[in-house]
């Protein structure tokens, strides 16, 4: 995880560590997004386009899942060629961390690039 933000459905007084992964689809179509974790980590996933701002987590939000039912987020969404997307992965519980695997299935392979958080020093 590479930063902390207030999750769209989270407690506004809590911060959640996250990993932001940017990608483009080479083929338009329906894709499924999920996570797998070997520990009892409840994962949260959110899809954004064309950008993600951790200081305003509802801007550009397309879809999210808190992963509460089976402990891992899972959702489907149509992707379009030429659009930049960001998959943000976090945890259900504030300040939890742990290993996970992001899984994307669809009509074509997806290559994701981690986005490092912007740090402004004053």
Note the pLDDT tens digit of each residue in 38-72.
666 778 899 999 999 988 899 999 999 987 667 88
Note the pLDDT tens digit of each residue in 61-120.
999 998 766 788 999 999 999 999 999 998 877 778 888 889 999 999 999 999 876 544
C-alpha span between 8 and 117 (Å, rounded): 17
**For the chain, which residues make up each domain, given as ranges?**
3-114
- List of long-range contacts for 106-110, beta carbons under 8 Å, 24+ apart: 106/25, 106/27, 106/29, 106/30, 106/31, 106/32, 106/79, 107/27, 107/28, 107/29, 107/30, 107/31, 108/25, 108/26, 108/27, 108/29, 109/26, 110/23, 110/25, 110/31
Query: The pTM is what?
Result: 0.87
CATH of 3-114 among 3.40.190.10, 3.40.50.2300, 2.60.120.380, 2.60.40.10:
2.60.120.380
């Amino acid at each position: 995880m590479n930063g902390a933000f207030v999750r769209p459905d989270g407690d506004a007084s809590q911060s959640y560590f996250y990993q932001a992964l940017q990608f483009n689809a080479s083929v338009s179509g329906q894709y499924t997004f999920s996570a797998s974790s070997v520990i009892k980590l409840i994962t949260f996933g959110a899809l954004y386009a064309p950008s993600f701002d951790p200081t305003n987590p509802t801007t550009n939000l397309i879809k999210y899942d808190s992963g509460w039912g089976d402990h891992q987020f899972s959702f489907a969404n149509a992707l379009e060629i030429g659009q930049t997307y960001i998959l943000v992965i976090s945890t259900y519980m504030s300040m939890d961390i742990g290993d996970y695997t992001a899984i994307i299935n669809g009509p074509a392979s997806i290559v994701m690039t981690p986005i490092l958080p912007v740090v402004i020093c004053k």
